[in-house]
Amino acid sequence: MASAPHGDAPEERNAAPPAKRASAPITEAGIRAEFAHHDGTVARVNNGTFGCCPASVLAARARWQRLFLSQPDAFYFDALQPGLARSRAAVAAAVGACDASEVSLVDNATTAAAIIMQHVAWSFAEGAFARGDVVLMLHYTYSSVKNSIHAYVVRAGATVVEVPLPFPGASPGAVVAEFRAALALAKAGGRSVRLAVIDHITSMPSVLLPVKELVAICREEGVDKVFVDGAHAIGQVPIDVRDIGADFYTSNLHKWFFCPSAVAFLHIRKDDPIASQLHHPVVSSEYGNGLPMESAWIGVRDYSAQLVVPDAVDFMSRFEGGIEGISRRNHDKVIEMGTMLAEAWGTFLGSPPEMCGSMAMVGLPGCLGIESNGDAMRVRDMLRNEFKVEVPIFHNSRSVEEGQEMAKDAKGDQVTGYVRISHQVYNVREEYEALRDAVHKLVLAGFSCSKLRPSGKVLSN
């Protein structure tokens, strides 16, 4: 096992992971065993939200937790930092970083965003940026990141410009066009664009964006810094941080990279002077020693999720083709399942396969009448509670794009709701069939969201 220490001797703890002998790929039964802790009665087609962690990695984590409980001082002085260094090195190797000093481990992408936004806020407060300088973000940027932008950079004086994105039916070209247009708007009147925040894979609706191209456009157009929020990306799509070329790149390792909840990395090029200006907001004794070290000690807490990255890498290597094989098969499967659902429901995929990783948006029959985020949430709850299907639902507001006609389903109803299905190694076809059949049942029963709205509930009582 790569990371969990076996012996008491410090040399063992600090030793490089032993070489792995070649072994047969993991079997179906092996996979089932690794995820036996999942509630077997649930059609769990939502890996995207909370991810998953195999039993072998959880076991490695438990070993670290027991080590801490047994003798926490020795853990702190002898084991923790070497363990975190090994995890950072594993991440650096997985994302094509120059070296581990470019990698910081934090709880999640939300924390990484706060680190960057706080830095930008200081830049405004200390006069490096002028009031009214622009920060660019996507309309579909994750809500927590939008709040972070508001809480830090808008509060400090930035002007925020949003990039509208077409949905459904985006194409890389359409995304690039919208981005260029928004960037031109941002720069209007000679404004400085201090930061562009670009999702690698948006969350809701989920679309894989051509980030490398967008980063290049930012460089051409003189954007100061680019932050790629790749929260969903690692384990879904290949990541080469140098190829993508952002200033800051973050991704969660607990979503698609088989780490426990929760751990993410933030990558910053080491030759960038800004690297030493970023600080973890929870200031500890490591303040000033660089973000990797600051993030490695933010007070007493359970760091075990951050210590098992090498174990997650080992897990993935048990699959044919490793993580590339896993993500490729997930992609193929989710498109196959998404197409099956779309055909069954008379709807369509929200974006073309080349703009999907291991997740796909599938239109729900328009007769369900989803007309708000509240409706979408209530339908999701009902699917969970009555059908044991776990899938997030997106309400596509009619007011998004000027002049775009709302897409219709085979019956001519406007498609306002989409499920976001995920495929991970533990998923089986039956789960998507359960989702298909649940929605069919609702349609046949004449269900519409108005029945679940609060006033509707009172009437039915």
Task: Name 208's bridge partners.
Answer: 201
Which of 220, 322, 381, 440 is in the footprint of other proteins by CB under 8 A? Answer: 381
Which of 1, 33, 98, 151 is in the footprint of other proteins by CB under 8 A? Answer: 151
Q: Which is nearer to other proteins, 152 or 348 (CB)?
A: 152
328 binding other proteins? (CB under 8 A): no
Q: What number of chain residues touch other proteins (CB under 8 A)?
A: 66
225 binding other proteins? (CB under 8 A): no
262 binding other proteins? (CB under 8 A): yes
Contact 211, 228 (CB under 8 A): yes
- Least gap, CB of 304 to other proteins (angstroms): 9
127 binding other proteins? (CB under 8 A): no
Measured CA to CA, the distance from residue 228 to residue 20 in angstroms comes to 34
Measured CA to CA, the distance from residue 143 to residue 147 in angstroms comes to 6
252 binding other proteins? (CB under 8 A): yes
Q: What is the DSSP letter of 15?
A: S
435 binding other proteins? (CB under 8 A): no
46 binding other proteins? (CB under 8 A): yes
Which of 4, 34, 68, 358 is in the footprint of other proteins by CB under 8 A? Answer: 68
59 binding other proteins? (CB under 8 A): no
Q: Is 323 exposed, middle or buried (0-12, 13-18, 19+ CB in 10 A)?
A: buried
Separation of first and last alpha carbons in the chain? 57
Please name the amino acid found at residue 114: A
Query: In 277-321, where does DSSP find H-type helix?
Result: 291-296, 304-307, 309-317
28 binding other proteins? (CB under 8 A): no
Which of 131, 132, 143, 322 is in the footprint of other proteins by CB under 8 A? Answer: 143
H helices then E strands: how many in the chain?
20, 12
Measured CA to CA, the distance from residue 306 to residue 80 in angstroms comes to 10
320 binding other proteins? (CB under 8 A): no
194 binding other proteins? (CB under 8 A): no
Which of 240, 302, 343, 354 is in the footprint of other proteins by CB under 8 A? Answer: 302
Return the range that interacts with other proteins (CB under 8 A); candidates 36-44, 128-136, 337-345, 428-436. 36-44
- Least gap, CB of 49 to other proteins (angstroms): 6
113 binding other proteins? (CB under 8 A): yes
- Dig out the tokens for 194 from the structure: 């201090």
Half-sphere exposure of 238 (CA within 13 A, CB side): 11
203 binding other proteins? (CB under 8 A): no
Half-sphere exposure of 239 (CA within 13 A, CB side): 32
For residue 268, the surrounding DSSP H or E stretch is strand 264-268
- Cβ–Cβ contacts within 10 Å for residue 301, how many? 9
Which of 11, 39, 402, 430 is in the footprint of other proteins by CB under 8 A? Answer: 39
Measured CA to CA, the distance from residue 215 to residue 357 in angstroms comes to 19
189 binding other proteins? (CB under 8 A): no
Contact 53, 73 (CB under 8 A): no
Q: Which is nearer to other proteins, 65 or 339 (CB)?
A: 65
Contact 286, 293 (CB under 8 A): yes
- Least gap, CB of 56 to other proteins (angstroms): 14
- Applying CB under 8 A, which residues contact other proteins? 37-39, 41-42, 44, 46, 49-51, 53, 58, 66, 68-74, 76-77, 107-111, 113-114, 117-118, 122, 125, 143-144, 147-148, 150-152, 155-156, 252, 254, 260-262, 279, 281-285, 287-288, 298-302, 305, 381, 384-385, 388, 390
